[in-house]
Structure 1
Amino acid sequence: MTARRPRRSGGTLRVLVGIVSLFALSLQIAGAAPSAADVDTDAGGARCEEMTELSVPDTEITAGELVPAGDFVDAEGTVHRDLPEFCRVAARVAPSLNFEVWMPTATWNERFLGVGNGGFAGNIRYDSMAPALAKGYATASTDTGHSKSDSANSWISNPAQLEMWGRTSIHLMTLRAKQILTAYHEKAPKFSYFEGGSTGGRQAMGQAEFFPDDYDGIVSHSPGMDYSHVMMAVLWTAQRLADRPKGALDSDDRKLLNDAVLAACGGRDGVASDPFLNDPRDCHYNVKRLECRPGTSTGCLTAEQVRTAEHVYTAVTNQGSGEHLYPGFAYGSEAAWNFAAERQELVSYPQALFGRAVFDDPEWDWRSFDWDEDVALVEEKLSPKIDPTRADLSKFDERGGKLIMTQGWSDPFQSGSLPIEYYTRVLLERDGSTVRSALRDVQEFYRLFMIPGGGHVTGGMGPNSFDALSAVRAWVEQGIAPKQMVATKYQDDRQENRVVMTRPLCPYPQIAGYDGAGPTTEASSFRRENDWGDFAKDVAREKQRMQARERSN
Structure 2
Amino acid sequence: MPAHRREGAVALACMAAAAALVGCGGGGGRPGWSFPPIVGGNPPPAPQKLACDETLKTGFAPDAQTTVLLVKAFRKGDPLLLSGAATAATPTAQNDLCFVKLNVGPGHPGPADAPSTSPGIGIEVWLPAPANWNRRIHVKGGGGWAGGTQGTLGGILPNSGSAGSASDTAGIEGAVSATTDTGHAVSNGSFAMNPDGTVNTTLWKDFSERGIHEMAIKTKALAKAYYGEEAKYAYWNGFSTGGRQGLKEAQANPADFDGILAGAPANNWSKFITTELYPQIVVQRDLGGVALTAAQHTTVSKAAINACDLVGGVHLGYVPDPASCRYDPAADAAVICTADGGTNATAGCVTPAQATAFNKFWYGQTADGSVPDPALDNGFAATTAAGQKWFGLARGASLTGLAGAAPFPISTDQVALELQDPRLATPTFRNATGDGADGWKSLGYAQLANAWDRGVALQAAFANINTDNPDLSAFRDRKGKLLSYHGLADTLIPPQGTLHYYGRVAAQMGGIAATQDFYRLYLVPGMGHGFNNGTANPDANPPLPTNAQLYALLTDWVEKGIAPPARLEVATTASAAFPVVKTRPLCLYPLKAVYNAGDPNTAASYSCA
TM-score (norm 2): 0.73
Q: Aligned to 1:260, what secondary structure does the other structure show?
A: helix
Measure, in 2, the Cα distance between the counterparts of 1:493 and 1:399: 48
Alignment partner of 1:298 is 2:345: yes
**Take 1:132 and 1:308, find their aligned partners in 2: how far apart are those partners?**
44
Aligned pairs, number: 476
Partner of 1:448: 521
Match of 2:443 among 368, 376, 398: 368
Residue identity matched to 1:146: H
State the AA in 2 paired with 1:368.
L
- Paired residue type of 1:472: L
In the alignment, which of 180, 185, 189 is matched to residue 147 of structure 1?
A: 185
Equivalent position to 1:459, from 501, 508, 532: 532
Matches within 5 A, 1:377-396: 377-382=454-459, 385-396=464-475
Q: CA RMSD in A?
A: 2.8
**Cα pair 1:230 1:326 within 8 Å, conserved:** yes
Would the aligned equivalents of 2:74 and 2:80 in 1 still touch at CA under 8 Å?
A: no
Tell me the secondary structure at the aligned position of residue 316 of structure 1: coil
On the 8 A contact 1:74/1:126 being kept in 2, the answer is no
State whether residues 246 and 305 of structure 1, in contact with CA within 8 Å, keep that contact through their aligned partners in structure 2.
no
The answer (yes or no) to whether the contact 1:253–1:301 under 8 Å persists in 2 is yes
The CA distance in 1 between the partners of 2:183 and 2:45, in whole Å, is: 30
Residue of structure 2 aligned with 1:358, choices 403, 418, 427: 418
Contact 2:274 2:415 in 1 (8 A): no
State yes or no: 1:511 paired with 2:595: no
Matched, 1:338 2:401: yes
Counterpart in the other structure of 2:124? 100
Structure 1 residue 373, shift from structure 2 partner: 3.5
1:485 Cα deviation after fit: 3.3
Report what 1:70 is aligned to: 77
Higher mean alpha-carbon deviation, 477-486 vs 363-372, is at 363-372
Shift of 1:378: 1.6
Show the counterpart of 2:247: 205
Query: Which residue does the alignment assign to 1:55?
Result: 61
User: Paired residue for 2:13?
Assistant: none
Asked if the contact 1:156–1:353 (Cα under 8 Å) also holds between the matched residues in 2, the reply is no
Q: Aligned-pair distance for 1:199?
A: 0.7
Query: d(CA) in 2 for partners of 1:187 and 1:368?
Result: 57
Segments ≥4 residues shifted beyond 6 Å? none
| 1:466-515 deviation per Cα after TM superposition (whole angstroms, max 9, x unaligned) | 22111110001111111133333236799xx9564232222101223344
State the match for 1:121 in structure 2: 146
Return the alpha-carbon distance in structure 2 between the equivalents of residues 219 and 183 of structure 1.
26
Residues 191-222 of structure 1 show CA distances to partners (whole Å, capped at 9, x for unaligned) of 00001111111111111111111000001111
Q: Which amino acid aligns with 1:486?
A: E
Q: Distance in 2 between matches of 1:185 and 1:374?
A: 50
1:498–1:46: structure 2 CA closer, same or farther, 3 Å change rule?
farther
Deviates more, 1:372-381 or 1:191-200: 372-381
Give distance in 1, aligned partners of 2:559 and 2:485: 20
Question: Between Structure 1 and Structure 2, which shows a larger proportion of helix residues?
Answer: 1
Q: 1:490 to 1:361 in 2, by over 3 A?
A: same
Give the whole-Å Cα distance in 2 for the aligned partners of 1:280 and 1:417. Answer: 10
What is the Cα deviation at residue 280 of structure 1? 1.2
Indicate the larger mover: 215-224 or 377-386. 377-386
Q: Is the 8 A contact 2:306 2:315 kept in 1?
A: no
Determine the structure 2 residue equivalent to 1:131.
168
Q: Distance in 1 between matches of 2:387 and 2:62?
A: 47
Quote how far apart the aligned CAs of 1:82 are: 5.2
Between the aligned partners of 1:126 and 1:20, the Cα distance in structure 2 is: 32
Task: After superposing the two structures, state which structure 1 stretch, 370-379 or 388-397, moved more.
Answer: 370-379
Query: Matches of 1:174 and 1:310 in 2, distance apart?
Result: 43
Larger Rg: 1 or 2?
Answer: 2
- The one of 572, 593, 602 aligned to 1:489: 572
Whether contact under 8 Å (1:247, 1:305) holds in the other structure is: no
Given candidates 89, 105, 118, the residue that maps to 2:100 is: 89
Q: Secondary structure at the match of 2:126?
A: strand
Q: Once the two structures are superposed, what CA deviation does each residue of 1:80-123 show, in whole Å capped at 9, x if it has no partner?
A: 24511111111100122111111111211110011001111212
- The answer (yes or no) to whether the contact 2:182–2:206 under 8 Å persists in 1 is yes
Query: Is the 2:270–2:452 Cα contact (8 Å) retained in structure 1?
Result: no
2:559 equivalent among 474, 477, 499: 477
| CA shift for structure 1 position 397 | 0.9
Amino acid across the alignment from 1:450? L
Distance between the aligned counterparts of 1:200 and 1:122, measured in 2? 12
Q: CA 1:75 to 1:66, structure 2 compared with 1: closer, same or farther past 3 Å?
A: closer
Check the 8 A contact 1:317/1:371 in 2, yes or no: no
Q: Secondary structure at the match of 1:410?
A: coil
Residue aligned with 2:277, SS: helix
| Pairing 1:275-354 to 2, within 5 Å after superposition | 275-288=317-330, 289=332, 290-293=335-338, 294=340, 298-299=345-346, 300-319=349-368, 323-333=387-397, 335-341=398-404, 343-346=405-408, 348-354=409-415
CA shift, 1:301, in A, is 2.0
Aligned to 1:3: none
- Percent of aligned pairs with the same residue? 26
Per mean C-alpha deviation after superposition, the further-off stretch among 379-388 and 62-71 is 379-388
**Equivalent residues of 1:502, 1:521 under 8 A apart:** yes
What secondary structure does 1:83 align onto? coil
Offset of 1:130 from its aligned partner? 2.4
Q: Which of 204, 225, 229 pairs up with 1:162?
A: 204
Cα distance 1:319–1:191, how it changes in 2: closer, same or farther (>3 A)? same
Change (3 A) 1:328 1:361: closer
Contact 1:459 1:493 in 2 (8 A): no
Q: Which amino acid aligns with 1:241?
A: V
1:188 to 199, 214, 230: 230
Partner of 1:546: none
CA displacement at 1:379 relative to structure 2: 1.0
* Alpha-carbon distance, 1:298 to partner: 2.1
Structure 1 Cα separation of the partners of residues 422 and 265 of structure 2: 27
Quote the offset at 1:186 in angstroms. 0.7
Residue 19 of structure 1, CA deviation: 7.6
TM-score, normalized by length of structure 1? 0.80
- 1: CA distance between counterparts of 2:520 and 2:402? 30
What is the DSSP-based 3-state SS (H/G/I as helix, E as strand, rest coil) of the residue aligned with 2:482?
strand
CA shift digits 1:434-476 (9 cap, x unpaired): xxxx111111111111000000132114223422111110001
> Does the CA contact (< 8 Å) of 2:98 and 2:127 recur in 1?
yes
Q: Does the CA contact (< 8 Å) of 1:450 and 1:508 recur in 2?
A: yes
Distance 1:329 1:449 in 2: 18
Separation in 2 of the partners of 1:368 and 1:143? 32
Shift of 1:319: 4.5
Offset, 1:274: 1.2
The equivalent of 2:292 in structure 1 is 249
- Residue 511 of structure 1 aligns to which amino acid in structure 2? K
Q: Which moved more, 1:226-235 or 1:240-249?
A: 240-249
- SS of equivalent to 2:132: coil
Cα pair distance change 1:271/1:340, threshold 3 Å = farther
